[in-house]
Structure 1
Amino acid sequence: MTINEDMIRKVDRNTLMSDQIVRENISYWQDAWRRLRRNPVAMASLVVLFLILCYAILGPIIRGADYITIAAKYKNTKPNGTFWFGADSLGRDLFSRVAIGTRISVSVAIAASLVQIVVGCIYGGVMAYFGGIVDEIMMRIIEVLNSIPSLIITILIMILLGNGMIPLLIALCIASWTGTARMIRGQVMQLRESEYVLAAQTLGASHTRVIGKHLLPNTLGLLILNASTSIPAVIFDETVLSFLGIGVQPPKFSLGTLISLGQDMMSFYPYQLLYPAGILCLMVLAFNLFGEGLRDALDPKLRN
C-alpha cells in the first residue's frame, strides 16, 4: 500500500496536548494525606484533638488561676464567671486542674507509646530477620507475656516499684510492647525476601544495617498506625490505674485522679466528675476515630 500526502492528517501540537489526560504523579504519603483529608470524620477528630491539646497546654495560662493552693472559702463553688468549671472540694480552680490532668495523661501516654514502639520494633525486627531458633525463643517469651492479662502485669510492677509517674511509665511499657513486636515481625518476614534486602546482603551489608536501613523504615506506616491506636489505650489504662490509686499520686494528678475525686462528690456536685470524664471520653473517642481514618488512608490496597 502506498502512502501519499493526502492520507496524512496534520495535527496541531496545541490541540494534541489539550486532548491528553494528565494525572499528577504523587507519592505514597501524599496520596495517604489526600485520602485522609477526604475523610470528614477523621479530620473532625483531628481538629478535636488539636483543640484538646491546646486546652491542655494553654488552659492554665489563659485562666491564670491558682490550681494548687487550698482556698476553703471557694470550696465546691459551682461553675460561674470566676470559676469556669467550678471549684473542687478544696476550693481549687477545676478548669486549670482538668487542663493539667489532661496534659499529664497525654504526656504519659505519648512517652509510653514511643517506648513501646521502639522496644517492639527492635524486638520484632530481630526475631523476624534471624528466624529459626532465635525466632522460636523470642516468640515463646511474647506468648508467655500475652498469657497474663496486661492489667495484672502493670499492677504487679507498680507494687514492686511503687507509685509515681516513672514506675507507671515503666509498667505501661512492659505490659504493651508485645503487640507491636508481633506486628513488626509479620511485616519484616514479608520484607526480608525482597530484592533490595537480598542485594544488600549480597553486597556484604551487616545485619544491623539491613534491619535499620532497609527493613524497619518500610514499616513506618504500620508504626504510625500503631501509635495512633496505642495512645488512647494507654490513656485509658493510666486513667484506670490513677482512679484505683496506684498511678499518679498527689501532689501531681491526672484525669484518673480527678475522676476519682469527682466520684466522691458526684451526688451533690456532679460537675466535678462531668468535666474530667467528658474530656477523657471525648479525647479517647477522637483518637480512635482518627486512628480508623488513618488506617484507611495508609492502606495501600485502597490507593488509586
Structure 2
Amino acid sequence: MDNNIKVYDKEMFERVFSEEKVQKDIVYKGVSFWKDVRLRFKQNKGAIFGIIMITVIIFFAVLGPHMNRHSYRSIEQQHANLPPRIAVVEKIGIFDGTLEDKNIYLEKGLEDVYYWFGTDSLGRDIWTRVWIGTRVSLYIALLAVIIDMLIGMGYGLISGYVGGRTDTVMQRIIEIMSGIPNLVIVTLFVMIMNPGIMSISLALVITGWIGMSRVVRSQVLKMKELDFILASKTLGASSKQIIAKDLLPNIFGQVIIMSMFSIPNAIFYESFLAFIGLGLQPPMASLGVLISDGYKSVLVYPYMIVTPILVLAFLMLSFNLVADGLRDALDPKMKQQ
C-alpha cells in the first residue's frame, strides 16, 4: 500500500445533525389553488376587518329598522330636531340628548323618549332611516356584481374570443356608450320616469358593465393563443367548452376582483345622485338622501349628517379592503413579494 494514501476510519467522523427529525425528509402536503387563496386571504388583517364590518352593517340593515317602533316615514312634529339619546350610555355623559349644553328632551318634557341617532327636522327617526338607506346601498352593491358577472363578463368573453369583425363592432358600440356621461343617462331616465331607484338601476345596466367587459376581453385576447387553448382546439373541443372549461376558470379571479372594486363606485354613484336630487326622493330613505338633508342644517344640527356619512364611509372602505385582500390572494405574483 502506498504510504501517501490516508485511510480514514468511521470513528474519525462526527455526525453534524444528530437529531432524528433533521435526518428525515419532509414531505409537504399539496394545497389546491382555492385553498391557498383562502389561507392567504385569512392572513390579510385588513380584508378580515372589512368582512367583519360588512357583516355588522348587513346585520343592522336587516334588523335595525325593527329595533324600535318607528318607521322610516313616520312623522312626529313634537319630536323634531332631537339629538341622539341612548338609555344606558347617557349616564356617563354622552348621547344624553344634550345640544349646546341644553338637554332638549327635558325641555320638551320627553323624559322617557329615546332616539339612538336623533331625529330630523320632521321628527323622523334617523336610526331607522339610516338602516333603511343602507339597504338601498347594499341593493346597489348586489346589482353592480350581477351586472358585472352577467353582462360585462359575457360581453367581454364573446368579443375577445370571437375576434375579427365581431370584436371590432362590439368595441365600437362600447366606445359610443362610454362616451356618454352617466349623469346624462340618468337625467334622461329621470325625464322619462320618476326619480328613484329604478332610474339608477337602468343607468347601471346600460353603462355599469363596460369596465368589466374591457378587462375580460383583454384577458381572453392574451390567453386564447396559449398552448393549452390550442391543444383543446386540436382535440376537437367546441367554443363553448373552451370558454367554460379553459378560459373562464383562468380569468375568474380577475372577474371577482373587478366586481369587488366596482361595488364602492356603484354605492357612491347612487349616494351622489340622491344628494343632487336625481336619486330616491323623500320620504324614501337612502344614505345620499340623508346626507343631503343633513347638509342643509349641518351648522345647527351636525348629528344629522354624521351618522349616514360614517355608515357610507365604513361600507365603501370595507368593500375596498375586501377587494384588496382578494387581489393579493388571487394574484400568484404576490407570492414573490
Q: Output the TM-score relative to the length of structure 1.
A: 0.88
Shift of 1:196: 4.3
**For structure 2, which runs of at least 5 residues remain unmatched after alignment?**
1-9, 11-19, 87-113
Cα distance in structure 2, aligned partners of 1:228 and 1:116: 10
2:334: which partner in 1?
A: 302
Match of 1:4?
Answer: none
**Mapping of residues 1-304 of structure 1, within 5 Å:** 19-81=24-86, 82-303=114-335
Which of the pair is proportionally richer in helix? 1
Aligned-pair RMSD on alpha carbons?
2.3
Structure 1 residue 204, shift from structure 2 partner = 4.0
Mapped partners of 1:74, 1:66: distance in 2:
14
- The higher radius of gyration belongs to 2
Q: Contact conserved, 1:31 with 1:303, CA < 8 A, in 2?
A: no
Structure 2 Cα separation of the partners of residues 138 and 251 of structure 1:
42
Deviations 1:83-134 (A, max 9, x none): 0000111212111110110111111221133113311111110111111111
Once the 2 structures are TM-superposed, how far is the Cα of residue 23 of structure 1 from its aligned partner?
A: 2.0
Worse-matched range after superposition: 197-206 or 236-245: 197-206
Q: % of aligned pairs identical? A: 40
Kept after mapping to 1: 8 A contact 2:144/2:259: no
SS in 2 for 1:303: helix
Q: Closer, same or farther in 2 for the Cα pair 1:100/1:147, shift >3 Å?
A: same
Give 2:138's aligned amino acid: V
Q: Which runs of 5+ in 1 are unaligned?
A: 1-6, 8-14
**Amino acid paired to 1:169:** S
Distance in 2 separating the partners of 1:262 and 1:283: 19
Q: For the structure 1 residues 16 and 66, does the alpha-carbon distance in structure 2 shift closer, same or farther, using more than 3 Å as the test?
A: closer
Q: Is the 8 A contact 1:85 1:275 kept in 2?
A: yes
1:135-180 CA-partner distances (Å, limit 9, x unpaired): 1121122222333333333333443444222221010222221110
Cα distance change on mapping 1:203 and 1:69 into 2, 3 Å: same
Q: Paired residue for 2:17?
A: none
Q: Residues 203-257 of structure 1: CA distance to partner in whole angstroms, max 9, x if unpaired? A: 4444334323432233211111111100110000000011111112234321111
C-alpha distance in structure 1 between counterparts of 2:268 and 2:323, whole Å = 15
User: Hey, what's the Cα distance between the residues in 2 that align with 1:86 and 1:16?
Assistant: 65
Aligned counterpart, 2:108: none
- 2:236 and 2:130 map into 1 onto residues whose CA distance is 56
Letter of the structure 1 residue corresponding to residue 82 of structure 2: T
Paired letter, 1:168: I
* CA–CA distance in structure 2, aligned partners of residues 47 and 26 of structure 1: 26
- Cα distance 1:171–1:20, how it changes in 2: closer, same or farther (>3 A)? same
- Say if 1:66 and 1:178 are closer, same or farther in 2 by CA, change over 3 A: closer
Q: Which moved more, 1:231-240 or 1:248-257?
A: 248-257
Tell me if the contact between 1:59 and 1:96 (Cα under 8 Å) persists in the aligned partners: yes
Opposite residue 130 of structure 2, the aligned amino acid is: V
What SS does the corresponding residue of 2:67 show, helix, strand or coil?
A: helix
- Asked whether the 8 Å contact 1:113–1:173 carries over to 2, the reply is no
Provide the secondary structure at the position in 2 that maps to 1:76.
coil
Q: How many residues align?
A: 293
Measure, in 2, the Cα distance between the counterparts of 1:27 and 1:89: 57
- Name the stretch that deviates more: 118-127 or 153-162: 153-162
Aligned mates of 1:94, 1:146 — CA distance in 2: 38
Q: 1:163 to 1:66 in 2, by over 3 A?
A: closer
Tell me the TM-score normalized by structure 2.
Answer: 0.80
Q: Aligned-pair distance for 1:64?
A: 4.2
Looking at structure 2, the residues matched to 162 and 206 of structure 1 have their Cα atoms a distance apart, in angstroms, of 47
Q: Contact conserved, 1:229 with 1:287, CA < 8 A, in 2?
A: yes
